[in-house]
Amino acid sequence: MFENNSRTEINELGEFGLIKKLTENIILKHQSSILGVGDDCAVISAEGSFRKVITTDMLVEGVHFDLSYTPLKHLGYKAVVANLSDIFAMNAIPEQITVSVAMSNRFSVEALEELYEGIYLACDKYNIDLIGGDTSNSKQNLILSITAIGVAHENELVYRNGAKENDLICVTGDLGAAYMGLQILEREKRIFIENPNVQPDIQHYDFIIGKQLKPECANKELAALKLAGIKPTSLIDISDGLASELFHLAEQSGVGVIIYEEKLPIDQQTFDTAIELNLNPPTVAFSGGEDYELLFTIKQDDFEKIKEIKDIHVIGYCTPAAEGMFSYTKSGTKLSLEKQGYKAF
Amino acid sequence: MFENNSRTEINELGEFGLIKKLTENIILKHQSSILGVGDDCAVISAEGSFRKVITTDMLVEGVHFDLSYTPLKHLGYKAVVANLSDIFAMNAIPEQITVSVAMSNRFSVEALEELYEGIYLACDKYNIDLIGGDTSNSKQNLILSITAIGVAHENELVYRNGAKENDLICVTGDLGAAYMGLQILEREKRIFIENPNVQPDIQHYDFIIGKQLKPECANKELAALKLAGIKPTSLIDISDGLASELFHLAEQSGVGVIIYEEKLPIDQQTFDTAIELNLNPPTVAFSGGEDYELLFTIKQDDFEKIKEIKDIHVIGYCTPAAEGMFSYTKSGTKLSLEKQGYKAF
């Protein structure tokens, strides 16, 4: 169909290489366009010193979600959370979303209502207005595209590029749970396909399956930081996995990182399930995606203030860029951090 | 998969019925959310008395476009134009877009670059910044989702609901061309499938094929209105066809309409092609979609000013709602306007 003489496969570049190639020549023309491609959100001007931040995500059935184990209500909820998480990752407050849905006639009106029930549940939880959208047909799959809009004072916005040498590296909540939940759901799906009479064995995995199917935003932790008078120096949400986000943050800030594996917050159920499936728990914490926790850096001076805050964990610190990206295992072995690719939700 | 006891098919409700069902219970919570679902764009607060307007559209290969006769560059251009048209339809100025693309590995990087070439061409033409987006995989098809953001002073915004009895009904440009262009492209595709050695016969259809593959926004006409000191009382863009948009405008404004078929602007090539394909040209003008012209109403007092403006045509006037929606044929027959469904791009 395409008559180009040369053909470059998309996976040769990867998602981030592709975005870079497609957007590297952009020169912003409008004064109102304050930040374009490259952070969790774009930034445009608003009232006085306030800024609107905007993010968008498209989710395709069979690629980003599997309806054989994802209830539509959960899908709607999670899709909103994934977008709001990008708004919080600018240290902004989300206020509006638009929702576009394309679906084939295999979906009924009642099925769509379930999807929207989840969307509205997330809107209620996070105080969001659904202000627009679009519904249309698709040939077969369900496709969801959500755009979220938030607001922040320009002094409150936190970008990916502000980390400095010696800053402490922190994460909220716990890591790897959503990924382990996905592994269990996929395992039970395979078992069900092989033998539809076997009852799914998921009661021991409630926490990790909950993190996979119904994640939440780490907005309480952001509020606690603000209350404690701490403004992160850099901030990103963990949608593609900690290692991938560390690379974004370090590259854009021009720093290196040292991470201590023993400091990684891993829930007991995540840990036990990793062992059960012959996976190394720290690797799961580094490369598992979809936790929607936040990764951020703070000045060393803020350490005394932060250590009292619930659900925030200091996992390492920033080094000069030339020193690279490393982790220390519990036994003290120094490992080079890998850009562990995890295909996110 | 879905365990609902009752099942309502989506096509029982239609697109607009479905949107209504899914969004009718929304109560906007934020002061910054000025207008939600129901017009060409949502409206949120911005600097002082200025407003940001936001619109979003999702396009699915095989449903909204056919790559067998749509060059990717044209697709990118048209997708942007379709969104900007919604911004202009609020009488606002578009400034930013975000672009999300999902594509399977049948597309090469070069193919995506072609798509983006068209996107950037439209951005240059209409002075737009691409500020964000998302690329991901799809199983097979190409899916595009664009969100556009514009700005206007609150006094300049024009909604769908402002038409009053006796207001004049106007359209820009000409109608039905994009639809007839599509008919020719579909005909040539069928011929090609039957006999790949037949050369496509499209040289006599350059205007209508151009309107189908590379439409433009009617922003010049809006600028001319402003220069003439005319503010429309209501405004909507013609993406689903004149008849469908007339129903939106009349329902939301609480008026009826009388349209004179002889006043409908129909290009000669559109007219001739309609005759060739045994279609009634006024029907094509009423129900053909994707022209991206504007439909608007003005006060009768503005008639003297508007009649000098190029490419603006008065096609009828508003009546009391109780009088309904009618058109007069050239021979003077009064016909009830039908909600002629055209599945838009």
Which residue in chain A is spatially nearest to B113 when comparing CA positions? A22
Residue B267 domain-assigned (yes or no): yes
Q: Report CB contact under 8 Å: A100, B133.
A: no
On whether both B132 and B86 belong to a single domain, the answer is yes
A47 → closest Cβ in B10, B47, B134: B47
One-letter identity of residue A323: E
A2 → closest Cβ in B32, B58, B108: B108
Residue A343 domain-assigned (yes or no): no
- Cα–Cα distances (Å) from B222 to A45, B182, B275, B310, B326, in that order, read 25, 27, 32, 11, 27
Residue B343 domain-assigned (yes or no): no
Residue A84 domain-assigned (yes or no): yes
Residues of A in contact with B108 (CB under 8 A): 2, 4, 7-10
Could you give the residue ranges of the DSSP H alpha helices within B195-321? 206-213, 219-227, 242-253, 268-276, 281-287, 303-306
> With 70 as the cut, is the pLDDT of residue A318 above it?
yes
| Closest listed residue to residue A60, CA positions, set A118, A147, A145 | A145
Write out pLDDT tens, residues A12-43.
888 788 888 899 999 999 999 999 999 999 99
Min Cα–Cα distance to chain A from B135, Å: 7
> With 80 as the cut, is the pLDDT of residue A259 above it?
yes
Which residue in chain B is spatially nearest to A127 when comparing CA positions? B29
On whether both A210 and A299 belong to a single domain, the answer is yes
On whether both B99 and B186 belong to a single domain, the answer is no
**DSSP letters of A44-101?**
EE-STTEEEEEEEEEEEBTTTB-TTTS-HHHHHHHHHHHHHHHHHTTT-EEEEEEEEE
Write out pLDDT tens, residues A273-308.
999 999 999 999 999 999 999 999 999 999 999 988
Cα–Cα dist A82/A58, whole Å? 10
Q: Report CB contact under 8 Å: A63, B137.
A: yes
What confidence score (pLDDT) does residue B29 get? 94
Cα–Cα dist B293/B344, whole Å? 13
B290 at interface of A, judged by CB pairs closer than 8 A: no
On whether both B64 and B202 belong to a single domain, the answer is no
On whether both A252 and A283 belong to a single domain, the answer is yes
Chain A (45-64) residues lying within 8 Å, Cβ to Cβ, of chain B: 45-48, 52, 54-58, 60, 62-64
On whether both B113 and B193 belong to a single domain, the answer is no
| Closest listed residue to residue A169, CA positions, set A266, A267, A246 | A246
Q: Report CB contact under 8 Å: B60, A95.
A: no
On whether both A146 and A191 belong to a single domain, the answer is no
- At B68 the three-state DSSP class reads coil
Cα–Cα dist B29/B332, whole Å? 51
- At B60 the three-state DSSP class reads strand
Mutate which: B56, B85, B110, vs A, most A CBs within 10 A: B56
Tokens 């009088």 locate to B323
What confidence score (pLDDT) does residue B175 get? 98
* Residues whose CB is less than 8 angstroms from the CB of residue B268 and which lie 6 or more positions away in sequence, other chains included: none
Which residue in chain B is spatially nearest to A41 when comparing CA positions? B132
Between A198 and A285, the higher pLDDT residue = A285
Cα–Cα dist A66/A187, whole Å? 13
Chain A (114-173) residues lying within 8 Å, Cβ to Cβ, of chain B: 114, 116, 127-139, 141, 143, 145, 147, 149, 151
Q: Report CB contact under 8 Å: A143, B147.
A: no
Write out pLDDT tens, residues A167-176.
999 999 999 9
Residue B336 token pair = 């009830």
One-letter identity of residue A16: F
Residue B90 domain-assigned (yes or no): yes
On whether both A200 and A303 belong to a single domain, the answer is yes
> With 90 as the cut, is the pLDDT of residue A126 above it?
yes
Q: Report CB contact under 8 Å: B145, A100.
A: yes
What confidence score (pLDDT) does residue B296 get? 98
What confidence score (pLDDT) does residue A14 get? 81
Residues of A in contact with B23 (CB under 8 A): 130, 133
B63 → closest Cβ in A32, A48, A138: A138
| Closest listed residue to residue A63, CA positions, set A8, A144, A139 | A144
Output the domain CATH number for residue A123. 3.30.1330.10
Mutate which: A58, A75, A121, vs B, most B CBs within 10 A: A58
Q: Report CB contact under 8 Å: B57, A105.
A: no
On whether both A120 and A75 belong to a single domain, the answer is yes
On the CB side of B120, how many CA atoms lie within 13 Å of its CA?
13
Cα–Cα dist B207/A21, whole Å? 34
Min Cα–Cα distance to chain A from B62, Å: 7
Cα–Cα dist A58/A53, whole Å? 17
Tell me which of B111, B128, B153 is where a domain ends: B153
On whether both A83 and A207 belong to a single domain, the answer is no
Q: Domain count for chain B, please give it.
A: 2
Which residue in chain A is spatially nearest to B23 when comparing CA positions? A130
Output the domain CATH number for residue B243. 3.90.650.10
What confidence score (pLDDT) does residue B344 get? 35
> With 70 as the cut, is the pLDDT of residue A343 above it?
no
Residue A263 domain-assigned (yes or no): yes
What confidence score (pLDDT) does residue B5 get? 63
Tell me which of B153, B183, B207 is where a domain ends: B153
A95 → closest Cβ in B8, B9, B33: B33
Q: Which domain holds residue A47?
A: 11-153
B111 at interface of A, judged by CB pairs closer than 8 A: yes
Tell me which of A125, A153, A181 is where a domain ends: A153
Q: Report CB contact under 8 Å: B139, A30.
A: no
What phi and psi, each to the nearest 5 degrees, are found at residue A158? -125, 130
Residue B112 token pair = 């995506």
On whether both B28 and B140 belong to a single domain, the answer is yes
Write out pLDDT tens, residues A47-98.
889 999 999 999 999 999 999 999 999 999 999 999 999 999 999 999 999 9
Cα–Cα dist A261/A332, whole Å? 9
Taking a C-beta distance cutoff of 8 angstroms, is the pair A54, A99 a contact?
Answer: no
On whether both B14 and B140 belong to a single domain, the answer is yes
The DSSP call for residue A201 is -
Cα–Cα dist B246/B39, whole Å? 13
Cα–Cα dist A86/B140, whole Å? 27
Which residue in chain B is spatially nearest to A52 when comparing CA positions? B46
Residues of B in contact with A46 (CB under 8 A): 45-47, 52
Residue A197 token pair = 């009479």
Cα–Cα dist B138/B143, whole Å? 8
Mutate which: B6, B8, B9, B10, vs A, most A CBs within 10 A: B10
Entry pTM:
0.93
Cα–Cα dist A9/B229, whole Å? 53
Taking chain B (345 residues) in consecutive chunks of 10 residues, what is each chunk's mean pLDDT?
68 84 92 93 92 96 94 97 98 97 92 96 97 90 96 97 98 97 94 85 91 97 97 97 96 97 98 96 95 98 93 98 95 86 39
Taking a C-beta distance cutoff of 8 angstroms, is the pair B116, A28 a contact?
Answer: no
Residue A69 domain-assigned (yes or no): yes
Residues of B in contact with A2 (CB under 8 A): 72, 108, 110-111, 114
Residue A163 domain-assigned (yes or no): no
Which residue in chain B is spatially nearest to A72 when comparing CA positions? B2
Cα–Cα dist B75/B97, whole Å? 16
